[in-house]
Chains A and B, each alone.
Chain A
Amino acid sequence: MRKYWAIVKIGFKNALTYRADFFLWGFNEFLGTLVFLFIWSVIFGEKGRIGGFSLPETITYLIGVGLINNIISTAASRFIQRDVQSGRLSNLILIPLNYPLVRLFLSLSAKPVNLLIRFFAYFAVALFFKGKLVVSSNFPMILLTPISVVFAFAINFLVDYLTGCISFWTITTEGPEGIVRTIKNIFSGNYAPISFFPPGFQVIANFLPFIYIQYFPMLIYLGKVSTIEAIKGIGLQIFWVVVLYFLARAVWRKGLKKYEGVGI
């Protein structure tokens, strides 16, 4: 474990080299989210509810999924793709460490600084909607939300990992990665709650793992599911983690055999 701690440390130092970047991205997110929420406020207008969500719930939801997105995002697919394309993967698989874990810890290492700034960004956004936010006081839900976010992180990492593995076969993964990212963003409820979408769409969403990445944790927070349903949902999250883990392991092994170590 000490070895991976060393990875976290060097990743952290590396991240600090380009400090200004953090602030710029933080500001970028602040602006984007703010405009997005203004648009939703206009869409709601006189309507009381859309898809079972009130305006305060929707705003809370969107700020929530934004925060969750920052907590769980790993950019693993982009890094794996770059590693494969540039041949840097060769370095990383020839050290006595587990490559997936190296990638996991490297993406975690940049998080503390990043998250701190993003939290400020969302706090600033929240100030614009003071009094229009839902503050949960349901105790089991407050406890279950972070638990579901942990599993959401695992699902998201594995999906990213699988997406990155495409690069073993296609060399450039921007196309496939773009599609996966869009599908993930739609079906995870990143743009809007799934209940806003047509019924057929919602049925499909329920069969995909993406819904457990952002939508489900926010349903728990907003108390839109019962405690039993929340625990069941967490069970399904674990199911997806296991399925995706074995899939990722198989795909990784197959991909490595295709690897040609180009560029070095």
Chain B
Amino acid sequence: MSVIEVKHLKKYYQVHKKEPGLIGSIKSLFKRKYEDVKAVDNISFEIDEGELVGFIGPNGAGKTTTLKCLSGLLYPTAGSVSVLGYNPWHRKYDFLKQISLVMGQKNQLWWDLPAIESFILNREIYEIPKKQYEETLEELTTLLEIKDILKIQVRKLSLGQRMKCELIAALLHSPKVLFLDEPTIGLDVVMQKKMRDFIKEYNRRKKSTIILTSHYMGDVKELCKRVIIIDKGKIVFDGELAEIVEKYADHKILSVVFSKEIDPRKLEEIGEIKEFDYPKAVISVKREVASVASAEILQHFPVADLNVEEVPIEQIIREVFTGKDVA
């Protein structure tokens, strides 16, 4: 059964356009031109219980706007949204107690107090039984390794420590649906890894439904089986991550290291040369002829090393966005 159902969701923002310069500023005092920005433009999708779905797209694609509509923060311009059978906009307490929205740039912790105070507050607000609260807190602080900083004023914590505390505050009530917006933003690689492991583990243990947005393909690659790619407010792809490669990457990459100088013009007969910097060359060939092409290279050129690779997922997605043909 699907936990999240989105049908023809639209969210338009009205923005006023100002001409540049001082004259423009003065003009805009008296007369303003308003324009609709289609942040989310007619999208539909369904998500089942326990799924961990990656929402990817460039800046301003509409990812965060969609999450805000799903959590009940924004009133949709058109279309319908249903989460756990509720209309999020009504923000019924029973609904709010089962979801959580974590945003990398949003803080719900009390800055001037230690994080533990915010946790206690959430225990009361969400009416979490004391025993369950203590167990969850113990579990989360152990997983995220932050037991020692709970009594320090939040404003004195590092960004990474604060993000972890934010995450705990958002998870104390064991939400069934979790919206994570850029959960690894600003974290170093070690911390990113830990955060990913944690999210994966959390999804596995609690069977909670998670939607995650990120600019980092690493997050998505490691966590999500299914991805929804959104660009300019529209869904461009919805399916398994592996399908993207099949659907968009009809080429493979041959990277070769030569043992002697060769004539690059001869290489062109094999495929499209993406890079040539002796002794290395990168050649793009059609998927179906990849093995033939590599055999030919081995036969006709002095080869020290040869690798056949898939086009990196980052590149595929980048090119889906720019509308170009994929390598």
- A residues contacting B by CB (< 8 A) are 2-3, 5-7, 10, 13-14, 17-18, 87, 90-91, 93-97, 256-257, 259-261, 263-264
Contact = CB atoms under 8 A, between A and B. Distances in A.
A192 B105 CA distance: 47
Contacts of B72: 93-94
Interface stretch (B28-36, B123-131, B190-198): B123-131
Contacts of A94: 71-73, 91, 96, 99, 101
Nearest to A99: B91
B106 A264 contact: yes
B110 interface: yes
A257 B122 CA distance: 26
B73 A95 contact: no
A95 B125 contact: yes
Contacts of A91: 106-108
A2 B124 contact: yes
B74 A259 contact: yes
A5 B123 CA distance: 12
Interface string B38-72: 00000000000000000000000000000010011
B118 to A, nearest CB: 8
A17 B113 contact: yes
A10 B110 contact: yes
B126 A96 contact: yes
A14 B127 contact: no
B121 A10 contact: yes
6 contacts: A6-B125, A10-B113, A10-B121, A93-B73, A96-B126, A264-B106
Contacts of A96: 93, 96-97, 125-126
B113 A14 contact: yes
Given A94-B101, A259-B73, 9 more contacts: A6-B120, A7-B125, A10-B118, A10-B120, A90-B103, A90-B106, A91-B106, A91-B108, A94-B96
A44 B73 CA distance: 56
B74 A260 contact: yes
Contacts of A261: 68, 73-74
Contacts, number: 68
A97 B121 CA distance: 12
Contacts of B278: none
B111 to A, nearest CB: 9
Contact of A257 (B75, B112, B118, B121): B75
Contacts of B99: 94
Contacts of B216: none
Interface string B78-118: 00000000000001010011010101011110101100011
A256 B120 CA distance: 28
**Smallest CB-CB A-B distances: 7 pairs:** A6-B124, A96-B93, A264-B106, A91-B108, A96-B96, A17-B112, A257-B75
Nearest to B100: A94
Nearest to B173: A96
Nearest to A97: B125
Contacts of B117: 10, 13
Contact of B121 (A6, A17, A260): A6
B13 interface: yes
Given A10-B117, A94-B72, A18 B112 contact: yes
B37 to A, nearest CB: 11
A93 B106 contact: no
A13 B125 CA distance: 17
A177 to B, nearest CB: 20
A6 B93 CA distance: 17
B151 to A, nearest CB: 13
Nearest to B74: A261
Contacts of B122: 95
Contacts of B118: 10
B106 A87 contact: yes
A14 B110 contact: yes
Central interface residue in A2, A6, A14, A95, by most chain B CB within 10 Å: A95
Contacts of B74: 259-261
